[in-house]
Structure 1
């Protein structure tokens, strides 16, 4: 058997272990489910061990599989690093870049820069997903992640601050006419509030007083939405108060469709950052895209 077949089997095995099924691995690798399963089967036959325990519902790694996965991931990282060093002189990005973005911010602020890049560099391909949950780039095979909020410590990732989101609390004139205008933060406990829904994360608003001190306020979660555009739609529909980024609601405030409340507590900010695995820090396509987003942020195009 050729050595390239060996490498193909290892790649199929790692993708299957990371994604939990032959189907998901096939989608990640651009192959058929049958091809991935056969490739892993040939690898097991060559090694003389079972790497997966197979059932009708799921795959799980055997002890041998867990040990081999750790070694295989290290080997793949070494190969990626070698490729990055070899191609670091290439000026134009190429290959497939996998990016995961927060939904509303990603569509409105990041996606236009990605599309402009695709038009400019035809050798570059992208797989773009949108989610609000935490995405582990290493485990899920994503090259670059953009996230809003403070970053959890992770020794396997590199982060770069792009910009900050300035936050305001607002509501529709119709809602305020029906429910009254809150004069202080304690009044919000008597209001309907629209909050973001993120798994295993507290629902808090950042309030900033005249002295510049920031406090964390837990609003009553009357309505929960896992998408910024949906939250905006609910506020415009008169469903309650919400704290939203100024880039999202600015034009509605200017047009009178929304009204800012508790302006004395405005000014809270949330960081927006790009994250990527340390093992891929030298890949030209990642470096190019991070530089593109940093430049856009410096020019105020992400605000």
Structure 2
């Protein structure tokens, strides 16, 4: 049996272990289910070990299988690194880049840059998803995410701060004419408020105190919307006040379609980061995108 069969068997084993079935592994490898099953069976035969506990319903790794998976993943990572380091100075981004972005910000600020990049590097294909949820990059095979807000524990990941999101509290002129503008934060209780909504919870606002300290404030959630563009539509329609990022409302404020209120108080900021797995640091597709995002942030394109 040639060495190539060994690598095929290892790939089939790793994919099956990661996705929990021969069918899912076959889909990802572009093989038939039976080819993947046979490949894994040959590997087990060669090792003289059972790697999977097979039952009618599911496949699970045996203790030997778990140990072998860990070794295989380490070895594949070393090979990938070696390849990436060798080619990083000459290679152009190519292959499929899987990237997950926050919805409104991703569409407005990041997607145009990615689309430009595909014009520059035709060998690059994109898979772009838009979500605000926590994504396990390694588990879900995602190369890069952009996230707004403080970072939770991100071990195994590299994070680069791109910029910060500046927030303003604003309303449409017709709403303010009808109800009046709040003069101090306590007045917000008497207002209709449009708040973001995530994981079943309204998102609190960030208010700047006279001391400069920023505190969280939960406004009365008259309308709860889970998408930035939808929140903007609601404010423009005169449905109430909202705290929104400047990148979303800057143009509307300049044109007078919205007015800022509580100016001294609404200057909360949130960091925006790019995150990617440590073990994929040198891949040209990731390196080029991160470099491009950092350069864009230095030129103020991401604000």
- TM-score for the superposition, normalised by structure 1: 0.86
Describe the SS at the equivalent of 1:270: strand
2:52 maps to 1:51:
yes
Structure 1 position 138, deviation (Å) = 1.2
Describe the SS at the equivalent of 2:75: helix
- Tell me what 2:95 maps to: 95
- Tell me what 2:119 maps to: 119
2:286 maps to 1:286:
yes
Q: Deviations over 1:128-169 (max 9, x none)?
A: 111111112111111111111111122200011111111001
Describe the SS at the equivalent of 1:197: strand
Describe the SS at the equivalent of 1:139: helix
Inter-CA distance 115–49: structure 2 relative to 1 (3 Å threshold):
same
Q: Deviations over 1:191-250 (max 9, x none)?
A: 332222232877221112344321122223333322211221222223322111101001
Picking from 27, 42, 46, the partner of 2:39 is: 42
- Tell me what 2:84 maps to: 84
Unmatched runs of 5 consecutive residues or more in structure 1 = none
The residue correspondences of 1:183-262 to structure 2 (distance < 5 A) are 183-199=183-199, 203-262=203-262
Structure 1 position 298, deviation (Å) = 0.5
Aligned-residue CA RMSD (Å): 2.7
> Contact 2:101–2:131 at 8 Å: present in 1 too?
yes
Unmatched runs of 5 consecutive residues or more in structure 2 = none
Describe the SS at the equivalent of 2:206: strand
CA–CA separation in structure 2 for the residues paired with 1:77 and 1:200: 38
Structure 1 position 22, deviation (Å) = 6.0
Structure with the greater alpha carbon radius of gyration: 2
2:102 maps to 1:110:
no
- Tell me what 1:267 maps to: 267
- Tell me what 1:136 maps to: 136
CA–CA separation in structure 1 for the residues paired with 2:24 and 2:231: 31
Structure 1 position 16, deviation (Å) = 4.8
Aligned length: 299
> Contact 1:144–1:275 at 8 Å: present in 2 too?
yes
- TM-score for the superposition, normalised by structure 2: 0.86
- Tell me what 1:31 maps to: 30
- Tell me what 2:277 maps to: 277
Inter-CA distance 12–167: structure 2 relative to 1 (3 Å threshold):
farther
Structure 1 position 108, deviation (Å) = 0.8
Structure 1 position 107, deviation (Å) = 0.9
Inter-CA distance 46–25: structure 2 relative to 1 (3 Å threshold):
closer
